[in-house]
Amino acid sequence: MSQIARVPAVAGFARRALAPSTAASASGSVASPKREGKELRKRVPRSSHNSLVLPDGRPDAVQAVEESNRGRVTALTPIRVGRMSATPFAFLRGAAGLMAHDLVGTPLTGVSAQICGDAHAANFGLYGDARGRLVIDLNDFDETEIGPWEWDLKRLAASLVLAGREAGADEDTCRAGAFDMVGAYRRTMRLLAKLPVLDAWNAIADEELVSHADARDLLGTLERVSEKARSNTSARFAAKATTKGGDGSRTFVDAPPVLRRVPDEEAARVAGALEEYLASLPHDRLPLLARYAIHDVAFRVVGTGSVGTRSYVVLLLDHRGEPLVLQVKEARASALLPYLPAAGFEPVQTEHHGRRVVLGQKRMQVVSDSLLGWTTVDEKPYQVRQFRNRKGSVDPAALAADQIDDYGRMTGALLARAHAHSADPRLIAGYCGKNEELDEAVAGFAVAYADRTEADHADLVAAVRQGRIAAEQGV
């Protein structure tokens, strides 16, 4: 012990292994992150986050959608357009790139974090941990990058306003959802800043979160979603989506356009790619997967923003015939990638976007899918994860009006916890402060951006009606 005591304390000794949280922290000053955060208010007043000035040359809705469709499976892009044209809330969900374009000119502190990149209100949900217990957290990381924490906060705020409008809430209630979300983010960051580092790092989203966020009106909704999530398993999906052969094997059944079988050669390439996937997993997972055999592969349409990307489901069976289904989903470059340099953030270079997504997810979640990994199929990067591992979600646009602010507070607390894994919570808490100045500003931005999104959505709907862009509705 005496030998250890003679070792001088080295603040931030692992700093070289991490992306710097700010330009200031990169200079070596670590005396008071909270003070650094307060100093940032002089350069970027919290009230300035109210502003929305759209840049010159902004693409219209159709141009933005067509650009984001590049490289996708052409036959599936009408489904994506159909889903985005359903409502303004759905349009925003598929328009992460367009919003990043619009956020470039907004005020930024320069504080970086591992951001979701698509912190839309519909991208939070329940899922099972390795023991089958349910946790709630962000659950979509296709766009994750190191970037400005404010972008996640503003995207979530705008989506809450749109969710409230779709739910039929009045404007005060919609704005309150965004306002309360920012307040919960701010208070949670302050709480995490005060905790011992390990306690803050391992803070798990559970029933205590609901109490902390004062989201008790959501308890009934969360209980109903949890009940459904517990039965949302590989076994249930396999029972509906496969047929059993006389020899005990199972194969997928075509259910176009969402699920279709693939040619044997394509199935073999996907199955063969799981060797690379195994190499991306912790070694202690390998004996588990060694007890399964691959039985079939199918192509399955997913998501809203993800529609048109290549995605497969792989059916594995154990010695008792019990199924495990893996999803092998194409990982494209983040939609934020073209806009980060203009905002002063240099993206971390990656040779494999599946790896980027997986590592970003693990950096933001306390508990991640124990079988999360990556691979390559036909020279394209993919992420691999369990399919239907007790997943469940709240539809924010279907909430009662008096639940919008509760949902906002819960998601704001979750977002703060996720950001605090990569950004020092003392720094962000120092900037956000104790009063409601930031809450007011971001809520004002959210209303303005929700108005802009409604106009973009209307333009897309008009283009569909005029035949300028193809859309398949109801899929």
CA distances for 161 relative to 124, 137, 404, angstroms: 16, 20, 9
Most distant pair of Cα atoms in the chain: their distance: 79
pLDDT band of residue 134 (cuts 50, 70, 90) is: confident
State residue 211's pLDDT score. Answer: 66
Domain limits for position 409: 31-230+393-465
Tokens encoding 318: 């154990």
Find, among 216, 178, 162, the residue nearest to 398 by Cα: 162
- Between CA 184 and CA 212 the distance in angstroms is 9
**Whether the predicted model's global pTM rises above the 0.85 cut:** yes
259 is a domain residue: no
Q: Which pLDDT score, from 0 to 100, does residue 468 have?
A: 95
Residue 446 lies in a domain: yes
Positions of E strands within 139-241: 145-148
Contacts with 104 (C-beta within 8 Å, 6 or more apart), sequence order: 55, 339, 342, 343
Residue 52 lies in a domain: yes
Tens of pLDDT, residues 49-76: 999 999 888 999 999 999 999 999 999 9
Inside any domain, residue 342: no
The number of helix segments (H) and strand segments (E) in the chain equals 19, 12
Per-residue pLDDT reduced to its tens digit, 362-374: 999 989 999 999 9
What integer pLDDT is reported at residue 7 of this predicted model?
47
Angle between helices 96-103 and 149-166 (to 10 degrees): 120
Say if 376 falls within a structural domain: no
More confident residue, 161 or 134: 161
Name the 3-class secondary structure at 81.
helix
What is the rounded distance in angstroms from the CA atom of residue 211 to the CA atom of residue 215? 6
Domain count, the chain: 1
Q: Considering only CA atoms, which of 453, 411, 461 is closest in space to residue 178?
A: 411
20-41 average pLDDT score? 69
Q: Which two tokens stand for residue 353?
A: 């976007």
For 268, the token pair is 């073999």
In a domain, 211, yes or no: yes
CB-CB contact of 305 with 94 (8 Å): yes
Residue 131, domain member (yes or no): yes
By residue count, the chain amounts to: 475
For 439, the token pair is 């809450």
Q: What letter represents residue 254's amino acid?
A: D
Q: Give the pLDDT score at 6.
A: 43
In a domain, 474, yes or no: no
Q: How many other C-beta atoms lie within 10 A of the C-beta of residue 249?
A: 15
Q: In 3-state terms, what secondary structure has residue 382?
A: strand
